[in-house]
Amino acid sequence: MEIAEKDIIQLTDAALGADYSTVRRIVSSLARALFDAGNLDAAQELRALLRKRGVPLQASGQLERLPVDMKSRLPLVEEQPWPSTPIFLDDATNSVVQDFIGDVRHVDDLSRKGLASRLAMLVSGPPGTGKSLLASHIASQLNRQLYVVRLDSLISSLLGDTAKNVRALFDFAPAKNSVLFLDEIDAIAKLRDDRHELGELKRVVNTVLQGVDALDDHSIIIGATNHPQLLDQAIWRRFPYKIELQHPDFHIRHAMWRSFLFSDENNEAAELLAQVSEGLTGADIATISQTARRNVVLTGRTLDLAAVAQATILTAAGTPTLPPREGLTLKSVRTPALLLADQGLNAPKIAKLLGVTRQWALKLLKEANHGRDTATNQSNASSSN
């Protein structure tokens, strides 16, 4: 892969000036180019380096460029690197995202004709469904920096200062040609008719509305919430693009298992895991997969699919069970085998997923069915007596 001379010059200048925004932008582009060229290891190493903080920004004067809370002097936003994790969207959601990106890229043409829409997107959905990841992917596709609002700094114990912080936030956003991400936007944009909220908090909502209204045609803001029912209706009207992320369906779960656990190899086990992971979030699948792959690296053993299957079945959405590092013995495989049978898998599929013989799986299921029949007969007999 060839590196353009301008990238080398800009990267050197940015590194010497501790301009992390430019460094991350250029290195993220290089990592993407390496990935597209098939050099996956180098791309992964670059992305790992991007996650490092570097020298304190305050020492280089960079912190002063960010808006800060006047009392604590903590920054109201923090810059985050582009993602190294892929995102998986259904067709309807992807269509909205691509429309949004297309409108951003052609905003000047639309503005000249008086057709530009406010570049504001509101993303709702349960935790772990990819709201933050989606915002970072949008920033990456638009080649813009991502600034994430820090609620711990934004919301002051002095309520009047919270409104001031919100105003500072919206004054900062247009000047940076970036993507401003308001996670948990319901914390500052609740229903104004909520009787339990103080009048000052309602004024904060008004400040948010005024800030969004004041953004120019080129400013991009993405809000996210786990509690859409708490948002003031006026907030909904300020965000023309709306996306509701749900738990992934079978096809997306299949793609996730392939990507996260099998490095996109066409493995039949990915389909079986997709079948038994209904109700799990993308974050759950990523966590289980990455833990299993770490176990391979640290133990030197092959991937323990039985441990992955057991963790998957025992996981409740949002609280993943991790595959044990020591793996499962043939005796302990009985538990996930029976759980898989309860999920509707037959003996050949259980054998494939757990790495056991079909004969062993058939024998176990027959014993389990016999035990259930015996228990049912005994229960019926007790009822008759």
> Rounded to whole angstroms, how far apart are CA atoms 145 and 148?
10
Q: Considering 244, 271, 306, which residue would you say is the last residue of a domain?
A: 244
pTM, full prediction: 0.78
**Structural domain contains residue 214:** yes
Q: Considering 244, 267, 290, which residue would you say is the last residue of a domain?
A: 244
> Rounded to whole angstroms, how far apart are CA atoms 107 and 116?
6
* Dihedral over alpha carbons 111, 115, 118, 121 (to 10 degrees): -120
Same domain, 85 and 163: yes
Same domain, 99 and 230: yes
- Total number of domains constituting the chain: 3
Same domain, 238 and 277: no
> Rounded to whole angstroms, how far apart are CA atoms 108 and 191?
34
Cα dihedral sign for 103, 108, 113, 117?
positive
Same domain, 326 and 260: yes
User: pLDDT tens track of the chain, all 385 residues?
Assistant: 667 777 788 778 777 766 767 777 788 788 878 877 778 778 777 777 776 655 444 444 444 478 888 888 888 998 888 888 899 999 999 999 999 999 999 999 998 888 888 999 999 999 999 999 999 999 999 999 899 998 888 887 666 788 889 999 898 888 788 999 999 999 888 877 655 555 667 788 889 999 999 998 899 999 999 999 999 899 999 999 999 999 999 999 999 999 999 988 878 899 999 999 999 999 999 999 999 999 999 999 999 999 999 999 999 877 889 999 988 887 888 888 888 888 888 999 999 888 888 999 898 888 877 545 444 444 444 555 4
Q: Cβ(261)–Cβ(308) under 8 Å?
A: yes
Same domain, 40 and 78: no
Cα 383 to its chain centre, rounded Å, is 52
Q: What residues make up the domain containing 199?
A: 66-244
Same domain, 105 and 235: yes
**Structural domain contains residue 385:** no
